[in-house]
Structure 1
Amino acid sequence: MGKDIQNSFDRIYVMYYSRMLRFAKEYVVFEEDAENVVQDVFLLLWEKREVLDIRISLVSYLFSLVKNRSLDYLRHKVVAEEYKQELSFKLMSLEQLNYTFSSEEEIEKVIANAIDKLPERCREIFLKSRIEGMKYREIAEELNISANTVENHIAIALKKLRVELKDYLPLLLFLVSVK
């Protein structure tokens, strides 16, 4: 099949490009991105023309390549969007962060107030882990509960603290990193 592709690449390109473009646009939405996907597919087809051994119809093969390239593009887009949202959240938090604390005691008071709002058992486990530096296994043994229960309480505490300290993100990051 490799020689056939090499000898008739122009014909294949003209015959299938617009169909592949319409197919890609259904998924990647923007015309420019769809064009890039389809061009990548035809570039791959050209580069591999000598070694290609297509065992299905050419049109099926092209649709499969466009589908896979579209999936790669969309996966990358999702990751990039999540990263962008994360950066936006951090920027907003930093902009809202109140740096008017006059002392470390004020910062500790904000954190202590947030911790005091945790449910009793959750607060106890959180303090043992983050303040006393105990490992989950040690807390579980001391309180006669499973390590999974300790982990669940820590997750709940962090979630509640994230909400409570949303305007003080750097303080929360400090809390999370201390073990």
Structure 2
Amino acid sequence: MAGYGSMNDLELIALTGCDDQQAFAELYARYFDALYLHACQRLRDKAEAKDLVQELFSHLWSQRHALSTTEHFSSYLYKAIRNRVLNLLAHKAVEAKFLVNLQYTGNGTEAVTDHLAREHQLARVVEQEIQSLPPRMRQVFELSRKQHMPYKEIGMLLNLSEQSVRSHIKGALKLLRTRLGLWLYLAMLLWLS
């Protein structure tokens, strides 16, 4: 169907709800750049901004049957990306505060070497969890996060589509969050006691 570009958001949402991938692709093309710029201005990190927008559209596709045919779809998208940005920034603030607290003692009686030992122990646990990822997912994750390669280059190197690379990264992060969540919580409790 050649007329997707001339359809309004409501029509495209309705078609997307019927599993029409081209209608969803039109919504993606229509809003991706604006959402990316919006996220990039707040995060000042192009890769993180792109990841957030990709995750938003991935979520929209997974929820396509429940998408509301609201007249303000663009407002919904901007609110959704803003909330994702705020969540990421809040997570970074908590992470930074945890790292600062890990480096400096509150009462001055604990030795810095104790904190360094805990930091190394945490790094070992994280590395063990990375090594336990499925082989292809681990390879993609390490190229992205340790060697800082862009998704496109990883895809070319491993003969994967850029979307497959994104899926591997997203899956790896989800697994690591799940596996490390309880451990980090326990480590923080032990550190604070």
TM-score by length of 2: 0.46
